[in-house]
């Protein structure tokens, strides 16, 4: 097959990315929950007939790199027909953690019996049941974390399966919101299908198929070029989580990156064993973090496709913290452990590419979830958010203050929306001055978020970097660790990085997030 015209390739690349982007707009505009509508905790992508990624929206790396495994699980377990939409959230079938529900549909062209494309989206639902509101508990096994969905058809031939929807809604605390968000995912899928059919009608399937292959091949060539520019050798790094939320003691993640010509082997098999707590990650999360970090090495705006991973081999050990097996608890693996996997990869690559890798960013998503009964509205409520921290500095610039970094790419919930939707008052929301690590370039500062509960609520926090701050590079100082505090009746008490408690009316929760590491010695 002749190499596609580069100008045409770029045009088709942007066409496909625009489809994924428009899917995201539909999902956001039609959703019910603040987590999707305000925080934009969702991702959308387009796949070829083989289930290979050809385009992603500008959404969340931890979703996008792992979603192909959910698409593959659907392809393996179900025979999708026209108008079918499958959903799945099982971490042991390509998912990440239970609140992330993935919707997958096959796109059929008129007269064809086989799919020409797949489209998918993944949205974090603010509650999917389980032992605490928000479905991010301090669990010991996955059965405590919420409703686990293997690949199943929510929509059959264009009609919602009412029995499956009823089963889901009977197991969540906020059924109206869940139904609205699931239907929003369906509408997003329909928009992707519509735009792909329009593209085929305009350009023809043969031309599109040629460019789909060309885009993936181009991504592969770009990745091979950047790997080949690194010195051959083996680069190792170790970092850790403070604890798993159940047992004391660090949980180590170790990586060895081997560069050999234009290929890389990324080996996590020396990492600690899977834990009692919910910080366990699966292979899909490791692939997502690896894809993100290696993509960051490419200075150009390369297409984010399956071709990026062709030169990279990822190795994990079953029953380890990065390849946990059933029935491990998984809620924090997608959020906290994914950030630490990113940190160790950056630490290893800093040895191979000094000057191109920044110091560690906050290294935690500072997950907060809570819920209870809202007497003003006469209904249950459940809320989830991630809270930004400081960005690590680089050799070129200081780190940014109070921003989401690496595996999360979500927004905050605006104060106005927060106080309108939930029985909570935002008492403070500000940059945490002095929390960034010092150096020739200073790490970004974290932030402080203070919330007053206006009614009793059950609260869960899953955070990290509360013991050891994010590391600096090239003589830069570490960022300041985060802190969680509860103010009750005027008395301030420190609360653990990973904890659950019953908040009383009038309690104020203060979360201070870590600053980023500094870069370079102050003396320079």
Segments making up each domain of the chain, as ranges:
6-219, 358-524
* pLDDT (0 to 100) of residue 334: 93
Percent above pLDDT 70 for the chain: 99
DSSP helix/strand/coil, 222:
helix
d(CA 443, CA 423): 35
Mean pLDDT within 451-478: 98
Tens-digit pLDDT profile for residues 147-163: 999 999 999 999 999 99
State the pLDDT at residue 306: 94
How confident is residue 393, by pLDDT bands cut at 50, 70 and 90? very high
User: How far is the C-alpha of 243 from the C-alpha of 203, rounded, in Å?
Assistant: 54
- List for the chain the helix, strand, coil content (%; round to 5): 30, 25, 45
Q: What pLDDT band is residue 268 in, cutting at 50, 70 and 90?
A: very high
Kindly state the tokens that stand for 509.
């929760």
DSSP 399-450: PPSSB--TT----PPPHHHHHHHSSEEEEEEEEETT-SPPSSBPPPPEEEEE
Say if strands 263-267 and 312-315 run parallel, antiparallel, or are unpaired.
parallel
pLDDT of 1 higher than 70: no
pLDDT in tens, 241-259: 999 999 999 999 999 999 9
Residue 394: count other Cβ atoms within 10 Å of its Cβ: 21
Tokens matching residue 254: 């170790």
Average the pLDDT over 334-360 and give the result: 97
- Answer yes or no: is pLDDT of 370 > 80: yes
Is the bond leading into 338 cis (omega within 30 degrees of zero)?
no
Q: What are the tens digits of pLDDT across the range 424-451?
A: 999 999 999 999 999 999 999 999 999 9
Residue 2: per-residue pLDDT: 63
Alpha-carbon gap, residue 401 to 27, rounded angstroms? 29
Preceding amide of 23 cis, omega within 30: no
**Interval 105-117 mean pLDDT:** 95
pLDDT above 90 for 119? yes
478-498: pLDDT as tens digits: 999 999 999 999 999 999 999
pTM of the model: 0.96
pLDDT attached to residue 59:
65
The per-residue pLDDT of the chain, averaged, comes to: 95
Token pair 């369906």 is found at 186
> Kindly report the CA angle at 146 between 145 and 148, in degrees rounded to 5?
110
List pLDDT tens digits, range 299-326: 988 999 999 999 999 999 999 999 999 9
DSSP reduced 3-state for 164:
helix
Write the pLDDT tens digit of every residue in 182-227: 999 999 999 999 999 999 999 999 999 999 999 999 999 999 999 9
Q: What is the pLDDT of residue 4?
A: 73
For the chain, report the end-to-end CA distance as a whole number of angstroms. 54
Write the pLDDT tens digit of every residue in 161-174. 999 999 999 999 99
Whether the pLDDT of residue 178 is over 80: the answer is yes
Spatial separation of the C-alpha atoms in residues 123 and 145, rounded to whole Å: 17
């Amino acid at each position: 097959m002749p190499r596609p015209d580069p100008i045409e390739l770029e045009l088709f690349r942007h066409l496909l990315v625009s489809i994924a982007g428009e899917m995201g707009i539909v999902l956001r505009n039609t959703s019910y929950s603040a987590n999707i509508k305000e925080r934009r905790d969702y991702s959308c992508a387009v796949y070829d007939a083989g289930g290979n990624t050809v385009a992603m929206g500008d959404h969340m790396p931890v979703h996008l790199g792992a979603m192909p495994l959910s698409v593959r699980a659907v392809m393996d377990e179900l025979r999708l027909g026209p108008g079918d939409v499958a959903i799945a959230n099982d971490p042991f079938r390509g998912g990440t953690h239970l609140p992330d529900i993935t919707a997958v549909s096959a796109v059929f062209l008129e007269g064809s019996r086989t799919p020409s494309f797949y489209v998918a989206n993944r949205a974090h639902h603010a509650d999917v049941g389980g032992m605490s509101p928000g479905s991010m508990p301090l669990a010991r096994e996955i059965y405590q974390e919420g409703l686990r969905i293997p690949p199943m058809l929510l929509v059959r031939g264009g009609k919602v399966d009412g029995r499956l929807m009823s089963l889901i809604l009977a197991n969540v605390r906020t059924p109206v919101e869940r139904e609205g968000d699931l239907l929003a995912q369906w509408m997003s899928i329909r928009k992707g299908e519509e735009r792909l059919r329009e593209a085929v009608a305009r350009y023809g399937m043969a031309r599109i198929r040629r460019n789909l292959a060309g885009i993936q091949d181009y991504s592969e060539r770009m990745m091979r070029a950047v790997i080949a520019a690194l010195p051959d050798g083996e680069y190792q790094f170790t970092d850790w989580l403070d604890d798993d939320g159940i047992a004391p003691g660090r949980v180590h993640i170790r990586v060895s990156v081997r560069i050999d010509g234009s290929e890389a082997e990324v080996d996590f098999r020396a990492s600690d064993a899977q834990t009692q707590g919910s910080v366990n990650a699966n292979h899909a999360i490791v692939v997502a973090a690896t894809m993100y970090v290696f993509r960051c090495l490419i200075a150009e705006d390369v297409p984010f496709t399956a071709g990026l991973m062709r030169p990279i081999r990822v190795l994990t050990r079953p029953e380890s913290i990065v390849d946990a097996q059933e029935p491990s608890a998984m809620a924090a693996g997608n959020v906290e452990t994914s950030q630490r996997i990113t940190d160790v990869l950056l630490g290893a690559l800093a040895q191979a590419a000094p000057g191109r890798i920044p110091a560690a960013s906050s290294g935690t998503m500072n997950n907060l979830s809570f819920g209870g009964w809202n007497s003003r509205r006469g209904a249950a409520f459940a809320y989830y958010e991630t809270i930004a921290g400081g960005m690590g500095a680089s050799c070129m610039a200081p780190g940014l203050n109070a921003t989401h970094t690496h595996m999360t790419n979500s927004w905050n919930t605006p104060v106005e929306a927060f106080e309108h939707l939930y029985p909570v008052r935002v008492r403070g929301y500000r940059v945490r001055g002095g929390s960034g690590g010092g150096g020739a370039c200073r790490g970004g500062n974290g932030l402080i978020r203070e919330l007053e509960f206006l009614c009793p609520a059950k609260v869960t926090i899953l955070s990290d970097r509360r013991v050891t701050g994010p590391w600096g590079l090239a003589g830069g100082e570490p960022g300041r660790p985060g802190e969680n505090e509860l103010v009750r009746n005027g008395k301030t008490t420190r609360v653990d990085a990973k904890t659950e408690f019953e908040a009383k009316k009038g309690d104020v929760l203060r979360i201070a997030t870590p600053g980023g590491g500094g870069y370079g010695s102050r003396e320079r």
